[in-house]
Structure 1
């Protein structure tokens, strides 16, 4: 569908739904990754302008990602929990309008690219002062959402309701199944899965986990954090998962000495998270989930390569992501070796 056709369909549909004339004065495509499509749209209704982003799937969503309906519902929960995130505006569950379900959210300022967040001089001052504390406190607020606080029973199940006692063992079972479905062997991942089975920590509480909390999924400018994005991998789990994911080597964009996203130090992030949440961060649990995160990303990147190689979704981005699998395998084994040598 071209931009002009999308504009016409959005105008007609919103006019019908909102029962007032809606005009799209501006629309353009934003980057959305390998499987997402995002469009910036300027709406005019009753002489009032509203800047929104239309978010939909590009052909098909990633494996294990939430539907647009569930992603929108999670964004509502997070927004109501006080997390700085774009305000959810409208959900359309039917595919008949533009060819796939979509939702609208408030358009916010800032950039999310890794190079900008970690290296651009415009953020030098913010990077030295409040970047770490703002992200840590917002993550702590996100983690206040738990199964007991969600009344939508369907959404509660879609987020994969789990128990403290079985969550990690089931996560490893799921990873083994995903690994077995790949056409080639990955002995390094098998080794890591075995280590995780014998070193699984306990969990203090099941909370909402962002699932992809990293540099590239929050918007910033010189005024600071503008909003946390992308909840398609949200699920119930351990709070340490999100902290570990942000700390993974792959999200540091070359600034390896800054272990938190390429811009901060772990001790500072842990302290600020604890200040907001009142809950201690366990560094060993973070290390475990960092290994788990690298294994997940290794399998995920191999899956994306397979989508390209099988012909299901041809794309150079999918193929190039697949080449990163070995990097995550190496990093997971390096972290295990580091832990074993410290014992």
Structure 2
């Protein structure tokens, strides 16, 4: 899912904030003056929520789980992962930027705009430089059952990537080897936390494929909706091949500055789709010209048979030096729909028309399912 009273400060609050700031853990300043795109983790506390005693342990558990999941996912699909994705300190803890909000928990509920306050304060408080990072914001509303309801993620032209999710303080220890949607990981909504971070990296919703036999996908439906279609005993999820191809080129995964703007010009010269009745697959071929270097072609299959948008299957193929590409859709559903074509570029940009990010506005091809065959439009 993606989005989008000034009053005098009491003296007691001034003292409280001063004490809070002096109690903040030291954060390494290494690379703070760098333009390299980095993932920064923020713990956001409303004005009436004290710092939870479990904050350090829980942040380490979540971030370590996410890092392992993402980097192993890249490796599974043949990409060379970075040694580390997050900023780990010499003491073994992840860098955690603790920020105190100006309003109460009730005032922040349902207000995803708090991300701007969180990032602005983190930048100032910890002297963070660099134009665009990826900001993973944990919002702590207090001990359960209190929780932050807005699980969201996206991209801001000036801020960079961002993700918001609840920070659960219930006692317990997260097993790094447990399924992402099972047991204590499900209680902490780990899949939801990492899913929103995926949006911060620019990932779209990507549905699971039967042939993978890996359960849900990270960018697929939430666990409740997944279990409306799949067995309730299925608690696994995997990083899809398409998601891995996108992340492998993202600046934060390559340790480089975010130079994805302006988007490259894109001209799709050829875009063909043909149904192969013998192999029961659709083959998409074509050629693209661009001001930058496209490395991967992505075909998004918006089948009318999908249970929902989160179940949209994606397929990829290499873009060769001459701009030609070939993508095989090997799990088509017997229904009509639309194919959308977009590209991952060498610098991490993701566009199909050079104007919009992702699949929005990308070239598309409608199709029908007639007597066991797929028929494509012009």
Q: TM-score scaled to structure 1, two decimals?
A: 0.30
Q: TM-score, length-normalised on structure 2?
A: 0.28
Q: Quick check: which one's strand share is greater?
A: 2
